[in-house]
Structure 1
Amino acid sequence: MSHSTQNLTELIDQSPLSRLQIRVLVLCFLVVLLDGFDTAAIGYIAPELLQSWHIERAQLAPVFGAGLFGMLLGSFCFGPLADRHGRKSVLLVCVLIFALGTLASALSPSVEVLAVLRFITGIGLGGVLPNCITLSSEYSPARRRMLLVTLSYSGFTLGLALGGAVAGVLLPLVGWQGLLLIGGLAPLLLWPVLWFALPESVCFMADSPRHQAALRRTVECISGREDWHGVRFIGDAAQRAGHSSVAALFSQGQMARTLLLWLTFFCCLFVFYLLTNWLPTVLRGSGYSTANAAQISAMIPLGGVLGGIAMALLMDRLGALRVLPLLCLTGAVALACTGSQLEHGARLLAIVFLAGFSLTGTLNNLSVLAATLYPTRSRATGVSWALAAGRAGSIIGSMLGGWIFSSAGDLPQFFIWIAVPVLIASLALMLMNSQGRHQEAPVES
């Protein structure tokens, strides 16, 4: 086998799923689970902050916005850095930032200090998702990529749901400070495990001379073979040579798809974070207890876990852009109907679950889809900048939550208003599908 070459993507696609690949998926699942928990924590503790600090609902808007603006900055910065310096290295930095930021947030004496600390925490949170999605995608075989990466990414929405369940139980016992301490200590304890057990991206290591020994060990674990002496491993070098990581997003045939992808992320995350941050407070104002409001709100991410996995099974068979437009349209309809069920606890729980199943299920698989649209050199940038477009939507959604609530006039109209962006996202996905130029995975050379 001397003087031969081996395409790493083809090797992963043709080999059985190894324990190393399962380890990558599990570790990424745990990281994004804690990412989701810390992201949602501020929404679940918001009612307690209102009472503890004797402030108005509108005064929390800068706190929500600061964290999301930090995520936007983290998404913009850490994607290109990961394409240049490696997914694992950047991911470790991001986990450390959001762990320490969450711990410090537990000591906040005022809204102003909390807003600054949430901004710092958000920078770390913003870099976690794109790197975990990219790593999971690059270690998953094409035949089951949508399902495996969705299972790994579902840790994020499960973390959001876990935040609701934990908040409902622990807030009366440990207060909002205790909840944030838990959210900061958990990723700090996971950090050394990531350092020792998480491998770097195989395609990234193929271009790095200092990673060649680690790459060979990784290939041996994936393939179950040790006779790779004299073999040169390659990623998708032909695609890397043509464009920088950012320019590749707007290369021929990519610009329209990139812009439609950004529009979809913007609209979906606009609504998702508006619900995540404001739904517990809206439900409290409608007469629900703190525990009940947290449990109902948790249906948004919990439904997304099940929706994401169920739809990933379909997408591996039918293609993502045949499934996602209809799933997103279902989310718009479910949200429009939510306001009419506020006085019926069981039906409200069901309709919020359906909204989570469809809207959050779309987001789960949309992130996975983004990882399949770009070559290795620009993959982390493509995912992170798409998420950054979504972060811009999430900032606006969170900041405008109070204004939309007051302008809509009543809660049924409020939910109809926030269904409109989800409908726009569905139309954008339909346009992506109708172009007929999409591909479920980039052609590797």
Structure 2
Amino acid sequence: MRAVLFVLAAASAFQPETAKTVTTPKFNGLRGRGRAAVAQVEETSTAGPLSIQSREALMDDKLALLGVSRYQALMAIFVAMVYAADGAEVMVMSLVSRTLVEKWALADWKQGLLGMSVYSGMFTGGLTCGPVADGKGRSFTLITATAMIALFGVLSAYAPNLELLCLARFIAGVGMGASLPVSSSLLQETVPKAWKGGLACLVFSGFNLGELFAAKAGVLAFNRADPSTWLFLVAALPAIATFVVSLIVPESPRFLANNGNVRGVRRWFVRAARINGKNLQTILGPEPDETAAALCAVGKPPKRAKKTEPKPQIRSPVALVADKFGGLFVKELRLRTLVLWVLWMAANAAFYGSIFSLPEALRFSKTAANDVNFDVARGISQVSAYQSLAFLFFMPLVALGVKYSFLFPLAFAGGFLALFSAMLSTNFAAAAPLPGHLVACLAFAKFFYNGVFMMLYPLTGESYPTTTRATGTAIAGTVGRVCTILVAPVCTRLQQISALLPYQVFIVTSALAFLASLLL
């Protein structure tokens, strides 16, 4: 806790003065006046109901008054735990793949199927979690998702055959695919606007810590008789801890307000103000109940069923999902949505492909260089350790307000150059890179792709309004998962041709992503 508070305090030094207090002139008179103030704004507005931007700005004002302190630090720790649980589960698959192939004498296509199962689950989870989180809530979705990761992560250790293991990994993957975008949405809806990007960069380091945890466990596991069973059990520990914590994590205040839960909004601000040591009246005014009601009135979607209708039309889940999906392609969001999808696909291909291909690439480099002293497991842990420093570079830049239109080209260019450096000896000297050189280059490449992922979640989240934020973030992540699903079979096939061929493909995808990022 003290470490997170220290990071938050240090990051505050990078916040522009104008960003520390969110000013919303249009709503300055709303504070403490409740429904009367909302009615006054609606009566004087020529546009009728308040716009999405106006509703978001009013909640931003209240969260800015709440500030960033212990409550936000606790929330950041929880979201980092979610990321760590996912990172450990992703890394463990690349570690146990070769062991399971030897244990069950698997054919090449079955090895690809094993890796594909968890990524297919992540695709399914990402596809379905957005509408669920926008309908049932962020907290409900996270409890369910982390329970799936924990339970089926443990069951993976005791799967007696490939079929049951693939099923367990698929269901665990569903939880993983649901947990990342929803936890990102929860964090962004809990902190002031000026802090969203910086904290998103900070919590993504949890994914790297989860990878590092599994990689360090791998160093010990391969000395055991059945390393895969032990690794699956150890990798499930972060998910178990995260599930327990998720049971006490409050709902998003924006979700509560958007659904008209006046009592829930007031309780949320009471709890957050108490933990932060703030006076509730300085945030919600002298009449907290009326202000909470005003927030809910402002936060409701502009299109509402008339109260005079005795039986409102019940729409099918398919129609509701179609409405959410269509909201991503309204005129002002169409280009941004398409660009985000391209960035997500490129990032998923290179990020997860690098993790999956890393053990075989290091083994090849060790054999080609005849370096008997090089330890592959330690090389994997070194890549995982060095890449986690990315937040120290990207978080201050985001906190300073550097535009994403500059940061994303920078990150993709850095990933391109790091991978290109690793392949120089292969392409021009017809030799494999030395193990140490390959570890350094791949660590730098993962460093920059960590930066991409750190910024993708806040960029995607802030691109959409509250009513479609979880859906927009989840769908973008799901589109990226299409490439992730192909990682295992494609990288397995490419490494049969050349152990380093996947990284040559990632050079091309990095270049394409760089060009797409120029459209931000």
The alignment's TM-score, normalised by the length of structure 2, stands at: 0.77
- 2:362 corresponds to which of 267, 283, 300: 283
1:230 counterpart residue number: 290
2:268 counterpart residue number: 218
Aligned length: 428
- 1:253 corresponds to which of 332, 354, 357: 332
2:143 counterpart residue number: 92
String of CA shifts for 1:121-165, please: whole Å, max 9, x gaps. Answer: 111111000111111111122222211121112212321232212
Deviation at 1:287, TM superposition (A): 3.2
Deviation at 1:426, TM superposition (A): 1.3
2:514 counterpart residue number: 426
Task: In structure 1, list runs of 5 or more residues that go unmatched.
Answer: 433-445
- 2:437 corresponds to which of 330, 347, 350: 347
Q: Is the 8 A contact 1:83 1:381 kept in 2?
A: yes
1:361 counterpart residue number: 451
Alignment of 1:28-67 (within 5 A): 28-67=79-118
- 2:487 corresponds to which of 397, 403, 408: 397
Q: Is the 8 A contact 1:249 1:258 kept in 2?
A: yes
Residue type matched to 1:75 in 2?
G
Deviation at 1:238, TM superposition (A): 7.2
Deviation at 1:239, TM superposition (A): 8.8
2:312 counterpart residue number: none
User: What is the RMSD of the two structures over their aligned residues, measured on CA atoms?
Assistant: 2.5
Task: In structure 2, list runs of 5 or more residues that go unmatched.
Answer: 1-31, 39-54, 282-287, 304-321, 426-431
Report the Cα distance in structure 2 between the residues aligned to 1:414 and 1:161, rounded to whole angstroms. 22
Q: Is the 8 A contact 2:214 2:235 kept in 1?
A: no
- Percent identity, please: 23
Q: Residue 351 of structure 2 aligns to a residue in which SS?
A: helix
1:383 counterpart residue number: 473
Deviation at 1:15, TM superposition (A): 3.3
1:195 counterpart residue number: 247
Residue type matched to 2:408 in 1?
L
Report the Cα distance in structure 2 between the residues aligned to 1:360 and 1:236, rounded to whole angstroms. 39
2:197 counterpart residue number: 146
Report the Cα distance in structure 2 between the residues aligned to 1:364 and 1:2, rounded to whole angstroms. 39
Report the Cα distance in structure 1 between the residues aligned to 2:382 and 2:449, rounded to whole angstroms. 11
1:23 counterpart residue number: 74
Report the Cα distance in structure 2 between the residues aligned to 1:241 and 1:294, rounded to whole angstroms. 55
Report the Cα distance in structure 1 between the residues aligned to 2:138 and 2:33, rounded to whole angstroms. 30
1:182 aligns with 2:234: yes
The alignment's TM-score, normalised by the length of structure 1, stands at: 0.89
Label 1:60 to 1:26 Cα distance change in 2 as closer, same or farther (>3 A): same
Say which one has the larger Rg.
2
Deviation at 1:11, TM superposition (A): 1.3
Q: Is the 8 A contact 1:147 1:313 kept in 2?
A: yes
Deviation at 1:112, TM superposition (A): 2.4
Report the Cα distance in structure 2 between the residues aligned to 1:369 and 1:239, rounded to whole angstroms. 24
Report the Cα distance in structure 2 between the residues aligned to 1:246 and 1:181, rounded to whole angstroms. 38
> Which shows bigger deviation, 102-111 or 306-315?
306-315
> Which shows bigger deviation, 246-255 or 123-132?
246-255
2:178 counterpart residue number: 127
- 1:241 corresponds to which of 296, 299, 302: 302
Q: Residue 310 of structure 1 aligns to a residue in which SS?
A: helix
String of CA shifts for 1:401-422, please: whole Å, max 9, x gaps. Answer: 1222344xx4555532221111
Q: Is the 8 A contact 1:339 1:414 kept in 2?
A: no
1:315 counterpart residue number: 398
Q: Residue 519 of structure 2 aligns to a residue in which SS?
A: helix
